[in-house]
Structure formats: C-alpha cells, structure tokens
C-alpha cells in the first residue's frame, strides 16, 4: 500500500488530505472518527458522518444554555429566536445568498422543502413542470401537484451546456435538450398538433434539476439556471409565454459544492443538513428567492404563522415575514441550534478543499476500477455516467456507481456485492437510490423492461438484482470529507479479491449443485466410511432454540412439529433472530407422550406449556409468509404476554394449521425464495429439512483456524463453529467434506429424501448462540464466501424434501409414519 499511496500523492498530493487545515486527514480520522476503526464507510451520498468534536460541542451547547419555545418573549425564548436568526444567516452564507434577495425556510428535510414548493406553486392549465431525467423521486413527486392542477409535465435529458452559459458572439442557446413524452392528466387538455403548447404570459412554469446526480455523481452545469430563465422559449421551441422559475436540488451536491446563488440565482434550492455534516437529521431548508417566495401560497395555518385568528368566525391575519408564513408551528429549534457546530467543522476545512479531497479519491478509484480485468481480458467494472472515459474529473462528484461482470460477461448481482462488502467491513449502497430516471437511463432499461421487472415482483429495496439478464440497479460508493486513501485501497482490494477471476485451481473443491433431481429411477449407493446420522434437531418455534432427540417421527411436512410455530410483530412482520437475536435464548422441547410443547426463557419466571392438540375452538386466521398462504391458529393473551416478556417486545404466537403447496415461481418464471415448490411446508424459509455434514464443518474450522480470522472484539482468538451454528435438522458424519453437494437424493432407514441443492447462508450464521449472549461476528460467513460462492449464493449444507409418497409397481402410495434414529446409515445417490 505504501507504494500505491506514494503514486497517489504524486498525482493528487496538492488536493488530498487538507494540508492547509488545522488538522490533516490522518489526524482528523484518528481523533474525530475513532468509531470507524476497522470499518470502511462509503455511503456519504446517503448520509454524511458527524465528528466526535462536533457532537461534543453540541452537547456542551445544549447542557450550558437554556433554549425555550421561540413563540414567546421570555429570555430563553429570545435566546432561541436569536439562534434561529443566526442559523438562517449561516445557511445563506453557505450558499453565498444575500439576505436582500433570499430567505431561508427551515423544513424537516430536502423532501419536505420540495413538497412545500410543489404544494404552494401557482400551477395552472397553462403551466409546465419540466425536470431532468436524473432527478430524485422527491423531485418527481412535484409532478403530482402539477398534473392534478391541469399543468403539463415533461422529462428532459440535458445533452450539453457550455461552461459560460452562452456562446460568445451568438444569440443561440448553449443547451441541447432531449425531450421525453408529454404528460397530462385525462381531465386536462392535451397539446395539439404535436406542439408543446402555447403558454399564457401570466403562467408560472418550473424547471428542476440536481446540482449533482445522486446516482452517477454527474455534476450539472449551474449555468442552466440563467439559460432556462433567459432562453426558455427558444430552448423548448414554440411561442411559449409565462415566467420560468428554476429549482435546484442540492441535497447531494451541497456537501462538497454548494450552489453559489450570487452567481447562479436559482429561485429555489433544497438540501438536508445531515447530508453535509451528519447531524442533525430530520432538518433541512428551502433557500428561496424573495420574489419567488411571494408566489407560493399556503392554505393551512398553524401556531406561529398568523398574527391573529378568531375561533368561531372565518377570520385570520397571516404574518408578513415569509419564513413565518411558510414554516409550520414550532421549529425543531434544538436541532437548529446544533447546525452551527456542523458548519464550524466544514468552515475549518473549507468546501473547496473538501471538494478537491473527495474528488481526488473518487478519480483515483474510478481509474483503478476501469483498469480491472479478468484473466481473459473482460472488464470487471461497468461505471455509469456521461461518457465516463472522456468526462473531466471536475464534472464528476465524489460518487462512483457501477456494476460488476463475471469473466463470462454475466452480471454479478448488486445484492451479492453488498453482502460480501458487509462481510469485509465495507458499507456501501445498492439499488437505484430513489432515482428511477437515472437508473433506467444508465442501465438501458426501457419502459417495457421496468414494467416487466415490476410484474416479476421487483420493488425498491428488494434483492431481485438481475432480471432477464439485466441489472435492476447498481452499486454506489461515495466519499466524504473524512474519507482516506486507505478506505479507497481497501475497497479496491475487496473488488480484486472477491470479483476478479484469476487462474483456476481446484483446491479439492466439489462441484456445487443447486438443482433438484426427481427420486424415480435412482440406484442407491453406500459411501465408503459408513456415513451415519449423528444428530436430529427439531426447532418447534421458528428462530428459537431447538432440541436434540435420539429418534423422531417424520410427517408430510418434514420432521414432525419442526417450525410449526412462529412469532409475529404488531405489524404482522415475522420475527426472526435477524431482527430479534434474543429469540435464541427461548428454549423449546416437545414431549410426544404428554402432547405438549414446553418453553422457557431466562426472562420469564414460569415455564410455558402449550398443548399439541389442535383445538377447534381456537381462532383461525390467514397470513402470508415466505411466498405462501397459511391458515394459522392464534393463542390467547396469556401466551402472547409470555412471549412478549421473553423477547421484550410486543408479539403474537401463531401455529401453522395448514398450507397449500407453495408457488415459488413468479409470473415470469423466476425462482422465488423457497426451493421446494412441490411440498406442503411449515414456517421454513426454503425447504423442509436442512442437512449438515460434520466433516464439512471440520473443514470450515480448519480454514478459519489457518486464516486466523478474528472476531469483532479483537480478542485474537480464531472463530470456530460447530454444526449447531447452522441450525440443521440432520447432522451426518463419515463423509468427505462437501461430498453432500453432489448427492441427488438419499435414504436414511426407510425414509427417502430428494436433495434440492445447497442452502444459501446469510448473516444469521454469524450469531454466536451458545454463550447465552448474542454476539454479532463476521465469521464464519466471510470465510465461506471465499470458497463456497456460486452465482451470488454462499452455500453450506443441503436442503432436503421428504418423500412421504413412494412408488411401488408404478403406483404412488402414501407411506406409513417413519422415524429417523441416530446411528442409522445414510445411503446417497451420487451424480
């Protein structure tokens, strides 16, 4: 890394690290961001990080001063009013906006500021709302107000803008615009003759664009402000009248390059403070030109916004100050008091230095990513942006959005990248980042693609990352003022280790299988070494502790009573250890002779007993879980209160009464979460039974030991696991490591099972459950990811379906109740 850093500093040394600031970048990280030790944070476009000194200053301020409600005249109220006035001025200074021309309206964030503009703008049937394709959903949302009031909406692509707004010596506009389809609501009049329309001279129109695209990092030329305001009629063709106003979404760009409103006099600028310096959240502002503010109308009035009102007649007198009219009620004045401490951090470094620092890191990483290739010469990274190979680094922010390809040209899913990044201690962002226009534009997704993806079940924040051979979203990294060269190098190293194909080496690995094979026509073999069933585990309540038995019966749903109960939250969400790790401390046991389920928890004084008999008087209801519709039985308040106490949160205990065969294929045939589409299932994720090989666990532990992977506490002890970490139903021994991957089916005693392929593992196996205290680790999933990754899945163990119906003389017959018993030999069928 030392040589790489020397080369980096030779190129970017004047821009990197704040050489002229009170503290350089290394000192800032060591003293102000100790919590980032061992962590690479690369989602500054999503949220900036607050510094320790900043928060210490906030705490000292709030614990040393008394700030009262500003709607009064006592001393504490006046102190708050002074703080708010100073904060407004500080915001205007940040954007170089004169208080003669601009006012600062505090809101709950950039989105609320945009909503305020959309609600208050004087839309009419002659108005136009135009916006660039590369815009956040919160900007697109203004379209609803415009269309509802009869205005016309139009998305555009900015093809080119000259740096100085107008070509010297000509009267031609310096912007080229590509128009998309005109949008009007059914009740509004459509433009005729293919023309955009003729506007009334009294109409108000709005053009919106971001100072920096939060998807690609592309910076928009702020000369657009003057170009649109001065030359709209020429740019948009036709004899258009009315007044054009410009809105700049600075939510992303304000952290490094806040718009200079003295130079680019936009009418509306919106932003959030947490995007700049991390704290406070839930606070933003609308910086609005005074003339533009006067056209915004507001119907609702609240405390602090009126000079007088009478309760029983229609009389109000609104206040004259624009801020008081457009802000609702009591401001978040303690949050406002905190922003000066954030600005102090930024002022000490200067925004120009922050911009140079972050841009240098992004330029370095971008160039290194473009050079990454697989051994066959295929590029690993596809980076999104306007002609990314030619664009100047000055035109790009500190954001890089990309997707990754395998050596055969297929795509790695962004969900896989995020999952592996988390295991490597790297925090990044995936998806479309609430910017559907930029996402579709750069990923080449047509309207039919987008609608087809939605029909396939793809929605925001899901893990359907590749559909029909195309990515549905991307991976985004973004740098902040406290990012370091070491952060960049760790990210690049992660890419190379995890995604760049090197010369292949078998290393004794077995070929992994993820396909289910029918049971018929298979000959049984016994492996050398006498593979045996070593343990049987049953987990009656999903995500709670299970119990081990020497023998146990099978049912048409797998092991009898396995995952037949679950806990759901107040909003009907299914509770698991991912959300409630403490569930592992609830111990369970089923006594077949007594016909009862016994439960105990260290948080409950009494044990709970639940009858196994299905009472016809119980209340029945339906619920959806894991792509299947279930009929479930509910329990009384006494049972629910026991579980509420056990996990320290409200919950409801339900039992699976019946389920239909699960359909895990969506409308376009893509595999859903479940693997077993032919069986009736209890509350399992994918299949009836999970089998783990003790020998495969031993191999994993040898890798953990040889790699000396450390847990998060830094204790220096390698993380070793036993088979129970994987919550198996069946544990076998006597087989070679991972040979179970190749089994098509198997027989244990008289019971026959079909293999459905490997089990895709998640962060849940990193929870250490044996100590009684839940510890979140990175292992063993991180090590498994290094050698057990197939098509985005990290596989360990195999999923089984119990074949309770067998074929005899060409006829399907229901089998008798069969029992599994520890010590029985395992007879697999091998490919």
- Distance CA(704)–CA(727), nearest Å, equals 19
| Residue (of 182, 187, 164, 167) closest to 238 by Cα position | 182
Alpha helices in 21-148 (DSSP H): 25-32, 52-64, 75-94, 110-120, 137-140, 142-148
Q: Is 655 helix (H, G, I), strand (E, B) or coil?
A: strand
Catalytic residue among 104, 434, 664, 759: 434
Computed on alpha carbons and rounded to an integer, the radius of gyration of the chain in Å comes to 31
**Phi, psi dihedrals of residue 795, rounded to the nearest 5°:** -100, 135
- Distance CA(45)–CA(213), nearest Å, equals 10
CA angle 720, 722, 725 (to 5 degrees): 100
**Phi, psi dihedrals of residue 203, rounded to the nearest 5°:** -75, 150
- Distance CA(7)–CA(367), nearest Å, equals 13
Is there a contact between 297 and 270 (Cβ–Cβ < 8 Å)?
A: no
- Distance CA(796)–CA(737), nearest Å, equals 11
Preceding peptide of 780 cis, ω within 30°: yes
Preceding peptide of 331 cis, ω within 30°: no
Is there a contact between 70 and 77 (Cβ–Cβ < 8 Å)?
A: yes
- Distance CA(217)–CA(397), nearest Å, equals 5
434 is an active site residue? yes
Is there a contact between 668 and 452 (Cβ–Cβ < 8 Å)?
A: yes
Is there a contact between 164 and 223 (Cβ–Cβ < 8 Å)?
A: yes
Is there a contact between 220 and 158 (Cβ–Cβ < 8 Å)?
A: yes
> What is the DSSP code (8-state) at residue 236?
S
Catalytic residue positions, numbered: 434
């Amino acid at each position: 890394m030392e040589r790489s850093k020397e080369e980096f500093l030779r190129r970017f040394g004047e821009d990197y690290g704040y050489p002229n600031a009170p503290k350089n970048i290394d000192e800032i990280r060591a003293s102000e961001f100790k919590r980032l030790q061992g962590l690479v944070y690369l989602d500054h476009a999503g949220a900036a990080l607050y510094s320790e000194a900043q928060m210490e200053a906030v705490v000292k301020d709030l614990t040393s001063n008394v700030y009262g409600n500003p709607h009064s005249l006592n001393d504490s109220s006046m102190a708050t009013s002074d703080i708010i006035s100073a904060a407004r001025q500080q915001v205007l200074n940040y954007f170089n906006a004169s208080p003669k021309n601009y006012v600062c309206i505090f809101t709950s964030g950039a989105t609320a500021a945009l909503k305020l503009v959309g609600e208050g703008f004087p839309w009419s049937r002659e108005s136009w709302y135009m916006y660039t394709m590369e815009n956040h959903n919160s900007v697109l949302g203004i379209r609803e107000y415009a269309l509802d009031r009869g205005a016309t909406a139009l998305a555009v692509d900015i093809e080119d803008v000259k740096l100085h707004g107008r070509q010297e010596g000509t009267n031609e506009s310096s912007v080229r615009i590509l128009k998309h389809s005109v949008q009007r609501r059914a009740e509004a009049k459509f433009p005729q003759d293919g023309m955009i329309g003729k506007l009334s001279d009294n109409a108000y129109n709005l053009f919106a664009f971001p100072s920096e695209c939060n998807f690609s990092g592309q910076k928009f030329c702020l000369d657009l402000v003057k170009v649109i305001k001065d030359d709209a009629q020429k740019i948009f063709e036709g004899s258009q009248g009315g007044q054009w106003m410009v809105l700049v979404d600075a939510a992303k760009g304000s952290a490094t390059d806040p718009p200079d409103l003295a130079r680019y006099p936009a009418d509306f600028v919106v932003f959030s403070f947490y995007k700049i310096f991390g704290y406070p959240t839930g606070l933003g502002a609308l910086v609005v030109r005074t003339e533009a503010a006067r056209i915004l109308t507001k119907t609702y009035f609240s405390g602090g916004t009126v000079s007088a009102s009478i309760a029983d007649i229609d009389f109000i007198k609104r206040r004259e100050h624009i801020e008081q009219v457009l802000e609702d009620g009591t401001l978040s004045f303690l949050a406002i008091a905190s922003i000066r401490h954030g600005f102090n951090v930024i002022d000490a470094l200067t925004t120009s230095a922050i911009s140079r620092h972050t841009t240098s890191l992004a330029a370095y990483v971008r160039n290194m990513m473009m050079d990454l290739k697989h051994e066959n010469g295929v590029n690993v990274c596809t980076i999104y942006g306007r002609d990314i190979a030619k664009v100047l680094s000055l035109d790009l922010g500190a954001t890089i959005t990309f997707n990754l390809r395998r050596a055969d040209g297929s795509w790695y899913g962004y969900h896989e990248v995020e999952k592996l990044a988390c295991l490597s201690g790297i925090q990044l962002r995936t998806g479309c980042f609430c910017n559907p226009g930029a996402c579709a534009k750069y990923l080449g997704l047509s309207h039919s693609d987008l609608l087809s993806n939605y029909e396939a079940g793809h929605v925001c924040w899901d893990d359907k990352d590749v559909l029909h051979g195309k990515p549905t979203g991307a991976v985004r990294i973004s740098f902040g003022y406290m990012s370091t060269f070491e952060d960049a190098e760790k990210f690049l190293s992660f890419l190379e280790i995890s995604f760049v194909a090197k010369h292949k080496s078998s290393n004794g690995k077995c070929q992994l299988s993820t396909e289910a094979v029918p049971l018929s026509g298979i000959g049984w073999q016994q492996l050398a070494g006498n593979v045996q069933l070593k343990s049987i585990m049953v987990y009656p309540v999903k995500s709670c502790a299970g119990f081990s038995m020497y023998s146990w019966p099978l049912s048409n749903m797998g092991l009898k009573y396995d995952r037949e109960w679950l806990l759901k939250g107040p909003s009907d969400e299914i509770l698991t250890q991912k959300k409630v790790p403490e569930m592992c401390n609830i111990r369970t046991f089923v006594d077949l002779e007594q016909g009862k389920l016994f439960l105990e928890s260290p948080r409950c004084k009494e044990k709970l007993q639940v009858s196994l008999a299905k009472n016809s008087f119980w209340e029945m209801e339906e619920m959806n879980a894991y792509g299947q519709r279930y009929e479930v039985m509910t329990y009384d308040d006494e049972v629910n209160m026991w579980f509420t106490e056990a996990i320290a949160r409200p919950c409801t205990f339900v039992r699976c009464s019946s389920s239909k065969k699960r359909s895990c294929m969506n409308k376009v045939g893509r595999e859903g979460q479940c693997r077993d589409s032919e069986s009736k299932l209890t509350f399992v994720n994918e299949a009836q039974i999970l089998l783990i090989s003790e020998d495969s666990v031993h191999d994993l532990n040898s890798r953990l030991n040889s790699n000396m992977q450390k847990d998060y506490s830094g204790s220096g002890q390698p993380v070793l696991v036993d088979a129970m970490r994987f919550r198996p139903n069946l544990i076998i021994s006597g087989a070679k490591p991972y040979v179970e991957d190749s089994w098509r089916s198997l027989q244990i005693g008289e019971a026959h099972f079909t293999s459905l392929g490997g089990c895709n593992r998640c962060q849940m196996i990193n929870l250490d459950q044996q100590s009684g205290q839940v510890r979140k680790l990175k292992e063993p999933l991180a090590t498994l990811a290094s050698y057990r990754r197939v098509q985005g899945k990290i596989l360990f163990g195999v999923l089984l379906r119990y074949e309770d119906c067998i074929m005899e003389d060409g006829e399907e017959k229901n089998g008798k109740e069969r029992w599994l018993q520890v010590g029985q030999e395992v007879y697999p069928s091998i490919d």
